[in-house]
């Protein structure tokens, strides 16, 4: 590798945590400071696989639970060549949800183990930093109604939160818990500081493999 590679920075959290807002602000501030950065999001709904996922989430079609889990994973794998290309050009990727959402959401359904859910994503480019935006259920409720897509109920979101707590015990991942109940600017400053550290650390190390 001739230039410093970019870092993979993932934002995770349950709905209403402010992930998308914070991803956009992070990309903007990095770029304003001369750090090349681009946003990715999963599911990436524009591909053929992404369109299948999107209509499933909008309750327009039904897919068997294992099948949809594998489609979410395939949707990440299909973007890997592009992600690697950008990273090698020195562009840092700010990613709105990744394999951790994949595992947390499917394993919140009956009959799915964490292990089974993790398997299809083993070997994906490993994030250099994963920030979990944490809001308690009462703050989430104050932020307004959930949407109308599949999974957008408080009972399911609580189950998802518990699965995230399990995933955060994994010491092979650079997890940082961010108190997202604060105002947007304070949360952003915290996220920016963690990101700059991760970008500097990642620059001269090879891209890792997730859960390997
Ligand atoms: P979005 O609202 O961020 O576009 O996410 C769409 C929904 O898909 C959200 O409820 C989380 C869920 N999801 C999964 O079930 N598996 C996955 O792998 C990902 C990335 C998201």
Sign of CA dihedral 63, 98, 171, 211: positive
CB 167 within 8 A of CB 115: no
Query: Does 101 contact ligand 1 (Cβ within 6 A)?
Result: yes
Query: Does 91 contact ligand 1 (Cβ within 6 A)?
Result: no
Query: Does 134 contact ligand 1 (Cβ within 6 A)?
Result: no
Q: Return the residue whose CA atom lies nearest to atom 2 of ligand 1.
A: 15
Q: What is the pLDDT of residue 139?
A: 79
Q: What is the mean pLDDT of residues 32-48?
A: 98
Query: Does 164 contact ligand 1 (Cβ within 6 A)?
Result: no
Structure tokens at 124: 């994906």
Q: What is the mean pLDDT of residues 64-89?
A: 98
pLDDT at 1 > cutoff 50: no
pLDDT at 144 > cutoff 90: no
Q: What is the pLDDT of residue 137?
A: 63
User: Distance of CA 37 to CAs 5, 50, 146, 194, 197, Å?
Assistant: 11, 23, 30, 15, 14
SS3 99: helix
Strand partners, 176: 131
Lowest mean pLDDT among 2-6, 18-22, 51-55: 2-6
Q: Is 6 left (phi over 0), alpha (psi -120 to 50) or beta?
A: beta
Q: What ipTM was estimated for this complex?
A: 0.99
Lowest mean pLDDT among 56-65, 82-91, 155-164, 193-202: 155-164
The strand ranges marked E within the chain are 8-12, 37-41, 92-96, 129-134, 175-179
Q: What is the mean pLDDT of residues 23-50?
A: 98
């Amino acid at each position: 590798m001739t230039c410093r590679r970019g870092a993979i920075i993932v934002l995770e959290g349950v709905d209403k945590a402010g992930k998308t807002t914070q991803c956009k602000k992070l990309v903007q501030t990095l770029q304003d400071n001369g750090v090349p950065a681009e946003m990715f999001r999963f599911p990436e709904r524009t591909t053929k696989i992404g369109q299948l996922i999107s209509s499933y989430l909008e309750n327009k079609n039904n897919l068997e639970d294992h099948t949809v889990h594998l489609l979410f994973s395939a949707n990440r794998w299909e973007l890997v060549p592009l992600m690697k290309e950008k990273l090698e050009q020195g562009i840092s990727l700010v990613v709105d949800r990744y394999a951790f959402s994949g595992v947390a959401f499917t394993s919140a359904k009956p009959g799915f183990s964490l292990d089974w859910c993790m398997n299809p994503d083993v070997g994906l480019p490993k994030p250099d930093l994963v920030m979990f935006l944490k809001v308690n259920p009462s703050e989430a409720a104050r932020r307004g109604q959930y949407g109308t897509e599949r999974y957008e109920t408080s009972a399911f979101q609580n189950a998802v939160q518990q699965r995230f707590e399990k995933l955060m015990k994994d010491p092979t991942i650079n997890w940082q818990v961010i108190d997202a109940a604060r105002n947007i600017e304070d949360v952003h400053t915290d996220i920016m500081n963690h990101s700059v550290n991760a970008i500097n650390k990642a620059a001269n190390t090879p891209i890792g493999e997730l859960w390997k």
